[in-house]
Amino acid sequence: MASALATKSRPCCLLCKQLGLFSYSSIRSSSLSSKKSTVTVTDDFRASKPRGQIKGIDLLRNPALNKGMAFTLEERQHMGIHGLLPSAVLSQDIQAMRVMINFHHDLDRYSELMNLCERNEKLFYRVIADNLDELLPIVYTPTVGLACQKYGLVFKRPRGLFITIHDKGHIYDVLCNWTDQHVKAIVVTDGERILGLGDLGASGMGIPVGKLQLYTAIAGIPPEHCLPIMLDVGTNNEEISNNPLYIGLRQKRVTGKEYDEFMDEFMDAVVQRFGWNCLIQFEDFSSNNAYRLLEKYRQKYCTFNDDIQGTAAVVLAGLFGALRITGKKLHENTYLFVGAGQAACGIADLITTAMVKEGTSTEEARSKIWMYDVHGLIVEGRPQRDIKGPKASYVKKGKPIKDLAAVIGHVKPSVMMGASGVARLFHEGVLRKMAQINERPIIFALSNPTSRAECTASQGNNAYIFPAIALAVVACSARHVEEDMFFLAAQHLGALVSQEDLDSGRVYPPISTIQEVTVKIATKLAEWLYETKRAWNYPEPLDKEAFIRMQLYDTSYDYFGPNTWKWPEDATKPRNVPQLDDEAWIPS
């Protein structure tokens, strides 16, 4: 193996050659193609053995422990990996630089980053943390959308668990195959509404994986506490299920009673396996399942739905910022939602709550919110009367209008939100109409990925919220994720927008500060959880921010060499002990 690594690796480009750097991908492919390798690495690389016992090549193949060429000579000898690496010893700083140099020469950035995560987890998170502006859009939206569409190609080695409808009755057993018992947070999807891309079945696994990578990269929740789960109940998307590379069940989606029983069993099995305080984040379920499952489980389990609640909080925070520019209160605005699904209704409900906190009645608050869906403006008399579910709270009297620019002329919104998953709905005519009736129109184009956004703009994304919610819940051991937490998070995120941000037209803090922002929001949430007796991690820490910071994942490498601390010279020498010839010490 050593010679395979040393002889087959080669510079990936001229720049790397000049810098004397070697391509990771060539190293990887050469090591994978080595037929001699007899090393078996269990998928559960973390819990298979206690840390001290993982030695030799297993250590290099263990992403949670591997330091690559950063192992010192002493560590290499001590851990039995001497000779398995080229002789140079590189610092993590140099390794991080090398990743970025390779990265800029690699077309498939997503794959390159995922490969790094499998090779050396600490370096992966270090590189993400150092390059948030550039890399968040790769591991997360919009690129993760493309990765999901091509998951058959991207998929190399399982990250997380795939539980299928055929595992019904045995879900607990499947959860036990994940041998790390210290899971504190799960992101789960059934792949039915992946971003604005629709039903991607098991290929939607890229979303839980990406969201949990943000748990670590943004909120500092250690990766060993995170578990991505795909609940594969089939797919109705024939285009992907007919693709020979498709990784999931090739059958129509199971619905109704069987689906519900499967979900109930899953929730119970998680508690049985990982405890009542394991956080379960629902992600990218279809609208009809998302709302009813949230209502069903929110008081029974430690759970929330990011598309409904996380999105609501991030948009409310953005509105707080925008209203500091226009100088109006929430209830002094008229809102038009373009798209009336889970994201839109979640936002509308939280804005209603916020208006009520300003002193408006619920009825009056709702009267200021209009919705527009695939059939047009949501009004009582329209030909399509199927106005069911949460959008029913926002039905208005009036004439049905289909054309969006005409709707704007009729409703006269000061705020317009796009959550439709339909690209370029906010075309020039629509935006001009908004500008005609408002001096400073407020427009959020929320749909993902960018190819589905209603218009091009820098996007408000729930990534400003869900990592902070998760950090607070996990750190404090909260039993439930309360609705108040989303309002609080929105308020605090809004307050963290500086005048300088507003002056430069931003209603969120810059992405480069998202880790600090997350710690600050989580601290506020932790204070609230302890104040309201909803935190179960005792004793109560006095300084909540220090308590939160203490738990953050550290990307610096561990030391693997022999223990080198020394005891004081005389520590083991007898002191004030009688001499042997003094018989006084012998018990009578």
Ligand X SMILES: NC(=O)C1=CN([C@@H]2O[C@H](COP(=O)(O)OP(=O)(O)OC[C@H]3O[C@@H](n4cnc5c(N)ncnc54)[C@H](OP(=O)(O)O)[C@@H]3O)[C@@H](O)[C@H]2O)C=CC1
Annotated catalytic residues are: 140, 211
For residues 287 and 448, which CB has a smaller minimum distance to ligand CC(=O)C(=O)O in the complex?
A: 448
Among 230-238, 295-303, 305-313, 356-364, the segment contacting Mg ion (CB under 5 A): 305-313
- Cα angle for residues 313, 316, 321 (degrees, 5° grid): 130
For residues 372 and 547, which CB has a smaller minimum distance to ligand X in the complex?
A: 372
Provide the mask over 457-496, with x wherever binding to ligand X is found by CB under 6 A and - wherever it is not.
Answer: --xxxx----------------------------------
Region class of 447: left (phi > 0), else alpha (psi between -120 and 50), else beta? beta
Please pick, from the candidates 106, 199, 284, 454, the single residue that binds Mg ion as defined by CB under 5 A.
284
Shortest gap between Cβ of 46 and ligand CC(=O)C(=O)O (angstroms)?
27
Residue 43 tokens read as: 């998928």
Residue 285 tokens read as: 């379920």
Are the C-beta atoms of residues 300 and 268 closer than 8 Å to each other?
no
Q: Is 408 helix (H, G, I), strand (E, B) or coil?
A: helix
405 sits near ligand X (criterion: CB under 6 A): no
- In Å, what is the CA distance from 169 to each residue of 139, 252, 583? 34, 20, 73
343 sits near ligand X (criterion: CB under 6 A): yes
Q: What is d(CA 518, CA 493) in angstroms, rounded to the nearest whole number?
A: 9
Residue 266 CB contacts under 8 Å (≥ 6 apart), including other chains:
163, 171, 188, 231
Residue 22 tokens read as: 């070697």
Footprint of ligand CC(=O)C(=O)O (CB under 6 A): 141, 195, 284, 306-307, 448, 461-462
Residue 500 CB contacts under 8 Å (≥ 6 apart), including other chains:
none
Shortest gap between Cβ of 419 and ligand CC(=O)C(=O)O (angstroms)?
9
424 is in an annotated binding site: no
Please pick, from the candidates 307, 373, 454, 482, the single residue that binds Mg ion as defined by CB under 5 A.
307
420 sits near ligand X (criterion: CB under 6 A): yes
Instruction: Using CB positions, name the residue nearest to ligand CC(=O)C(=O)O.
Output: 448
In the block, which residue shows the tokens 């939602």?
Answer: 337
Please pick, from the candidates 100, 245, 374, 435, the single residue that binds ligand X as defined by CB under 6 A.
374
Residue 154 tokens read as: 């991207």
Among 173-181, 191-199, 407-415, 537-545, the segment contacting ligand X (CB under 6 A): 191-199
Specify burial of residue 396 (Cβ count, 10 A radius: 0-12, 13-18, 19+).
Answer: middle
307 is in an annotated binding site: yes
Binders of ligand X: how many residues, by CB under 6 A?
31
Residue 87 CB contacts under 8 Å (≥ 6 apart), including other chains:
none
Query: Binding residues for Mg ion, per CB under 5 A?
Result: 283-284, 307
Query: Binding residues for ligand X, per CB under 6 A?
Result: 193, 195-196, 287, 307, 311, 314, 338-344, 372-375, 419-422, 425, 446-448, 452, 459-462
Binding site, residues?
193, 283-284, 307, 448, 461
